[in-house]
Amino acid sequence: MSDLAARLSAIDDRIADAARLAGRDPGEITRIVVTKFHPASLVRELHALGVREVGENRQQELTAKTAEVSDLDDLRWHFIGQAQTNKASAIRRAADAVHSVDRDRLADALHRAADDDSILDVLVQVNLTDEEGRGGVQPEAAEGLAEHILSLPSLRLRGVMAVAPLDEDPASAFARLRATADAIRAIEPSATWISAGMTGDFAEAIQAGATHLRIGSAITGPRPDRG
């Protein structure tokens, strides 16, 4: 077994263990492999190992990589990074889901970028820190943003996304995300996704109800120089 295959299967075992510990079915949890800073060849290796959900956090890298592996047409690309409004069109062309919608103007730009009758999956990114500018809407503004997204017919509101703060126990941060997720699901019952959990905190995220984990380095190995 390659190192990559071994790391992938070790993570999947840990996801299954964490799910069982939380009384959840591992089959209801989607593991997205974050491939940022790694070459498209890694995406190809992951695909050969059965990975179908991949994540990128920068538009240019997303655009370049999706073009390089466009023959792998059953991959689903998740955009998880902070997005500039003027990149919305490029993001929409390359991504199947955008986890990082954190303001009305970005939702509007993604909606305007629809060039056919496709529907883009989007999540409201919630800022779990008290610093503005960290990416994400403050929890108290999340429902308003969700309502706005629901008014845009080319977007499908799927749920919420967050990154745990560095200076807080992830379990308590994810509990706040869960409360926001529940509030949004009360508005739109089909918005069931909770995108949370990275290499260092996916067990806590699973405990808090995460449906989509975004795992990078534990699977891909350390990221090459950001150059």
Q: Which is nearer to ligand PLP, 9 or 70 (CB)?
A: 9
Q: Which of 31, 36, 87, 178 binds ligand PLP (CB under 6 A)?
A: 36
Residue 176 CA to residue 195 CA, distance in Å, equals 13
Residue 103 CA to residue 223 CA, distance in Å, equals 30
Q: What letter represents residue 116's amino acid?
A: D
To ligand PLP, the closest distance from the beta carbon of 4 in angstroms equals 14
**217 touches ligand PLP (CB under 6 A):** yes
Spatial contact of 124 and 149, defined as CB atoms under 8 Å apart: yes
**196 touches ligand PLP (CB under 6 A):** no
Q: Which of 80, 107, 149, 206 binds ligand PLP (CB under 6 A)?
A: 80
Query: Cα separations (Å) of 218 from 78, 117, 156, 198, 204?
Result: 18, 37, 30, 9, 16
Q: Which is nearer to ligand PLP, 18 or 34 (CB)?
A: 34
Residue 178 CA to residue 162 CA, distance in Å, equals 10
Q: Which is nearer to ligand PLP, 112 or 176 (CB)?
A: 176
To ligand PLP, the closest distance from the beta carbon of 22 in angstroms equals 19
**215 touches ligand PLP (CB under 6 A):** yes
Spell out the residues 6+ positions from residue 179 whose beta carbon is closer than 8 angstroms to its own.
139
Q: Which is nearer to ligand PLP, 80 or 142 (CB)?
A: 80
**57 touches ligand PLP (CB under 6 A):** yes
Contact positions with ligand PLP (CB under 6 A) in 134-163 = 163
Q: How many other CB atoms are found less than 10 A from the CB of residue 89?
A: 16
The helix-helix angle for 139-150 and 170-187 (nearest 10°) equals 30
**11 touches ligand PLP (CB under 6 A):** no
**What residues make contact with ligand PLP under the rule CB under 6 A?**
34, 36, 57, 80-81, 163, 198-200, 214-218
